[in-house]
Amino acid sequence: MKKYLLLLLTAALLTTTAFAADTPISGSKGGKILSSTPLHAEFFVQPDRKVSITFYEALKQVAPSGQEIKVIAEAPMGKVTLEFEKDATGYISKTALPAGDGYRIVVQIKNDATAKSQNFRVDFHTEICKECGHPEYACTCAHAAGGDHSGHGH
């Protein structure tokens, strides 16, 4: 009986974990959470179009350490690489994203100079989702997990 209950509990936990991994969540700034390891990162585009990256552990913000950040905007005018500087809460780009939206952004995170780069792709759309109130690039609605934003009034 104990084995059966343990098996059932393990299956429930794995199902919950798998579901949670498919459900997008928003960071404290309203940006997109990137599931990097060992820390999660929030990708957020500020009103001045500069990009900020903030790190979290167990849903709590942590001070930046030796991470290296690279963001490549694949804008219609051509690829643009943003350089970052560390501030008290994370990393901020020295320059703004190119004008417009509807393009792909590649975020590369290295935990330190010798670590392998973790790559994330963000489809950059600034229009606000009517369901969750976040910019489309950081949408937390159920349709965001599959990348389908059609038919949702966006």
CB 139 within 8 A of CB 106: no
- Reported residue count of the chain is 154
% of the chain with per-residue pLDDT over 90: 53
| pLDDT at 10 exceeding the cut of 80 | no
**pLDDT for residue 4:** 40
- CB 144, CB 152: distance < 8 Å: no
pLDDT of residue 13: 35
Calculate the alpha carbon distances from 48 to 51, 54, 97 in Å. Answer: 9, 17, 9
Res 99: pLDDT: 93
pLDDT band of residue 22 (cuts 50, 70, 90) is low
Which residue's structure tokens are 């952004």? 105
Bigger pLDDT: 5 vs 135: 135
Task: Determine contact, residues 125/137, Cβ cutoff 8 Å.
Answer: yes
Average pLDDT of the residues of the chain = 81
The mean per-residue pLDDT over the stretch 144-152 comes to: 46
**Cα-Cα end-to-end distance for the chain:** 51
Looking at domain 22-145, its CATH class is: mainly beta
Helix, coil or strand: residue 9: helix
**Res 24 pLDDT > 70:** no
